[in-house]
Amino acid sequence: MSRSTPLARATEAIPHSGIRELVDAAVDVPGAIRLEVGQPDFATPDHIVEAAKRALDEGWTSYTQTQGLRSLRELIVAKIARVNGFQVDPDQVACGTGGVSAIAAAFGAVLEPGDEVLLPDPAWPNYGLMAAWTHSRVVRYPCPAELDFLPDVERLEDLIGARTKLLVLNSPNNPTGAVYPPATVQALAELAERHNLWLLSDECYDEIVHEGRCVSPAALVGDGRVISAYSFSKTYAMTGWRLGYVTGSRRLVDSITKVLESQCSCPPSLSQKAAEAALTGPQECVEEMRAAYRRRRDQVVARLREAGLLTSVPRGAFYIVADVSPSRLSSRDFAFRLLRDRSVSVAPGGAFGEVANQAVRISLASSEEDLAEGVDRLCDLVGELAGG
């Protein structure tokens, strides 16, 4: 037998996303209620779809600039000023194939082997995958349920070492729905300044806020250390269109663009024209979707509170974390048991870190009927296992 040619050890060793593990398993369960993935159940608004059709008829099927069409980036500049409260110019914007591509390019632009990345716990699993292929080391800072899933900034500062280079914050948060108050964002921004860290602010749910407001650290810190990331996927139900963007200093965006050149050459031109229509067209669709997520949030909060499984009331995004510790199972074992015995798929909290290892994430991007039935089945299974 010939010897196996080695792969990159760091990438080979890291597990696949625990969310995707449940997605793949749920596909094989006929009629499963799907509450595990952050996929809006709304269709992309008609005016956006029609713009893409027109673009196709007009021949928008060629490469664009790697950073994206200048016309799109000019519209993004106006959106950032209107929604996020800070100023950039088009050369400070780089578009990627989804927010994930744009964020990954930022990791590639600032991290070198051996650098340390401060990630919230719990956090979106893809950050860990990005750290693996940049050969950087993950250091997690807890955001516990007793603090409403907000970080303890003093404890976080104790984790900073000589190789710490990047601090990631995510508000509104996936998986908890936490929206960081202005004082917390200010404290994190000041910490990054004190220790000369890059600060990556993942704001892909910036327009899905139920209470309070999404505060961007780029509106507070103007020295070029903040990388702000956004997506069309969640705000406009455009997940399959694959378009997101990051902003930062010109020097930073130039390096990010080099990474994007190696990834994809440019985002899909049709998606870019659709995104222009998303930004210039009617915005009532955004409020309608936000209102639906808020109704669903309130519905699930009431049911989990009744069952004694509520951890915290989410103030943004479209997720809620349910405590399943009475089942005496790990989050992964519970998620697979729920899928097997009750045909309901949720994301195991352990996929997001240690803090949520006895919890599961429920996506509110599903119909009210599916949520009512799926959460009832979840509560029943926890009660059955607790009693048994």
Q: Is the pLDDT of residue 264 over 50?
A: yes
Q: Give the pLDDT mean for 34-55.
A: 96
Q: How far apart are CA 229 and CA 247, in angstroms?
A: 7
Element (H, E) at 341: helix 331-342
pLDDT for position 59: 97
Tell me: do 96 and 231 sit in the same domain: yes
Q: Give the pLDDT mean for 184-204.
A: 97
Tell me: do 104 and 13 sit in the same domain: no
Residue 264 CA neighbour count, 13 Å, CB half: 25
Residue 25 confidence class, pLDDT cut points 50, 70, 90: very high
1 occurs within a structural domain? no
Q: Is the pLDDT of residue 2 over 80?
A: no
**Residue 211, amino acid:** E
Q: What is the pTM of this model?
A: 0.95
Specify the length of the chain in residues. 388
pLDDT for position 31: 94
Q: What is the mean pLDDT of the chain?
A: 96
Picking from 252, 280, 308, the residue at the C-terminal end of a domain is: 280
241 occurs within a structural domain? yes
Tell me: do 17 and 140 sit in the same domain: no
Q: Report the CATH number that the domain containing residue 14 is assigned in CATH.
A: 3.90.1150.10
CB 239, CB 233: distance < 8 Å: yes
Q: How far apart are CA 243 and CA 100, in angstroms?
A: 9
pLDDT for position 15: 82
Tens digits of residue pLDDT in 108-126: 999 999 999 999 999 999 9
Sign of the CA dihedral with 40 first, then 287, 242, and 49 last: positive
Tell me: do 34 and 55 sit in the same domain: no
Q: Report the CATH number that the domain containing residue 77 is assigned in CATH.
A: 3.40.640.10
Q: How far apart are CA 201 and CA 192, in angstroms?
A: 12
Tell me: do 144 and 275 sit in the same domain: yes
Tell me: do 60 and 209 sit in the same domain: yes
Q: How far apart are CA 351 and CA 20, in angstroms?
A: 10
Tell me: do 318 and 263 sit in the same domain: no
130 occurs within a structural domain? yes
Picking from 219, 252, 280, the residue at the C-terminal end of a domain is: 280
CB 278, CB 48: distance < 8 Å: yes
Q: Give the pLDDT mean for 207-230.
A: 95
2 occurs within a structural domain? no
3 occurs within a structural domain? no
pLDDT for position 106: 98
**Residue 296, amino acid:** R
Q: How far apart are CA 127 and CA 198, in angstroms?
A: 15
Tell me: do 91 and 184 sit in the same domain: yes
Tens digits of residue pLDDT in 266-312: 999 999 999 999 999 999 999 999 999 999 999 999 999 999 999 99
**Residue 107, amino acid:** F
Residue 8 confidence class, pLDDT cut points 50, 70, 90: confident
Residue 80: DSSP 8-state: I
Tell me: do 304 and 259 sit in the same domain: no
pLDDT for position 12: 86
State which residues form the domain around 97.
46-280
Window from 25-29, 203-207, 316-320 with minimum mean pLDDT: 25-29
CA distances from 101 to 119, 242, 244 (A): 18, 9, 8
Tell me: do 188 and 330 sit in the same domain: no
Picking from 280, 298, 324, the residue at the C-terminal end of a domain is: 280
Tell me: do 251 and 378 sit in the same domain: no
Q: Is the pLDDT of residue 88 over 60?
A: yes
CB 19, CB 122: distance < 8 Å: no
pLDDT for position 1: 42
Residue 347 confidence class, pLDDT cut points 50, 70, 90: very high
Domain count, the chain: 2
Q: Tokens 């005496």 sit at which residue?
A: 328
Tell me: do 336 and 214 sit in the same domain: no
4 occurs within a structural domain? no
